[in-house]
Chains A and B, each alone.
Chain A
């Protein structure tokens, strides 16, 4: 089998603007959208055909342009390689289309235009004009609190049911000497009695910012057995963007794009949620875990309250979840926080999780 990218992808359409000294009448994202639309048409494709997106990070994360264009990529990437950015996009896109991650990838690079504020680069104009004047809470507290509020309204989910997720994860952290909250057990009453930070979120349902780092090494299948540890293979993966970070734009605030990314990952792996022996789910807040459980298919939409209450998420339980403690108990070291779920999954799959080792571990589900 040919493992190179040779012949496995091609450019089929282009869009380009004539460079101008200034474009005070336009916005940077508007220019990006214009060339994307032009290239898609040039390729003879329709909006619905576009399922992959690569942007240069000066634009903001790819989700901004995806939401702007009203497209829902199932594969996306933000790239900044300085002068090599445009060049690196081609092999990245071919990697995506040659592996089935996407069928048609649009690559876009732009500059800011008339939307640059004095003394600043390209601003996050969405937040400046729609959120900040009204005083949202610190970090993402308000956004996730409002998701929890809506989930409670639609499905009758209770605070105790969500709090129980934090309690099970803390139990796991008691078997992880690396966890920030190792040696500090937690009860349901502790969570319920912790102070309200953004109704209905309690303090102990929110991550604690920490300082840290993580890394991993990935190698090809033919080299995978040369190391001292059993290799952990990626069997399937999926990506989905439905909207930018502001949850006001979510189609339904209680839904997440996990429903699409998980479906593709399971499809690639030819496995189902029932086959998973443990889960590592992104947990900035308890509600994040709850809606991910629903959307990944571990329980039905709206039923996660009862599911969480009746499921043992500890490493000894029937569905081990965030066995390192999750970010809620391990700590959130910036973007390494979400990486901790990957690292723990690998550690468990290698059989190196010590006291919290999950027995009979064949398949693990990770999201971020």
Chain B
């Protein structure tokens, strides 16, 4: 593990609890205790109601592939020996979306909307990265928009309000 050469996260006080939870293989997102909003981009304020009573909330670790790309020319040279690999945005069943990698799946089996489940990659003693693999039980699950979870928006941004006329 000492020879892990890929970029590691750079937690600030805002992100440290998330990385601590990941180390224990718990997938967490921020949740507003005042209005139930869940979001990925860590904050001190809820983006919907501006409350500051936020918690780190453990989610199911299941979701679907919202979109992806096969990286052939990485931004960071340390990834060069791994190409081609899948960089993905996963929509969790609870609503929020997060960037990650797909693993344990051949490139030609990857398709948008495929069911996924979290798998943990303990890259160093300090850091564990959540990655995703195909979920064989996933087809039976209902989509987030069929369960009402869609009210918790992926972006952490409240439902659209038209621009003033």
Contacts and interface: CB of A to CB of B under 8 A. Distances in A.
A196 B157 CA distance: 33
Nearest to A140: B75
B69 A198 contact: yes
Contacts of B13: 24-27, 114-115
A134 B44 contact: no
A264 B163 contact: yes
Main secondary structure of the interface of B (DSSP, over half): loop
Interface stretch (A240-248, A269-277, A303-311): A240-248
B1 interface: no
Interface of B: 6-15, 18-19, 40-48, 50, 66-76, 79, 82, 85, 87, 89, 97-101, 112-113, 123, 127, 129, 131, 153-158, 160-161, 163-165
A142 B12 contact: no
Given A68-B41, A115-B14, A133 B161 contact: no
Contact of A129 (B10, B43, B154, B158): B10
A136 interface: yes
Interface in A321-359: none
A247 B66 CA distance: 11
A146 B131 CA distance: 17
Given A134-B101, A137-B87, 7 more contacts: A47-B50, A74-B163, A115-B12, A132-B7, A149-B68, A150-B67, A249-B157
Contact of B7 (A33, A133, A201): A133
B47 A68 contact: yes
Interface residues of A, number: 67
A247 B89 contact: yes
A68 B40 CA distance: 11
A240 to B, nearest CB: 7
Contact of B164 (A25, A103, A125, A133): A103
Contact of A146 (B9, B68, B154, B157): B68
Contacts of B87: 134-137, 142, 146
Contact of A137 (B11, B18, B71, B101): B71
A197 B73 contact: yes
A69 B45 contact: yes
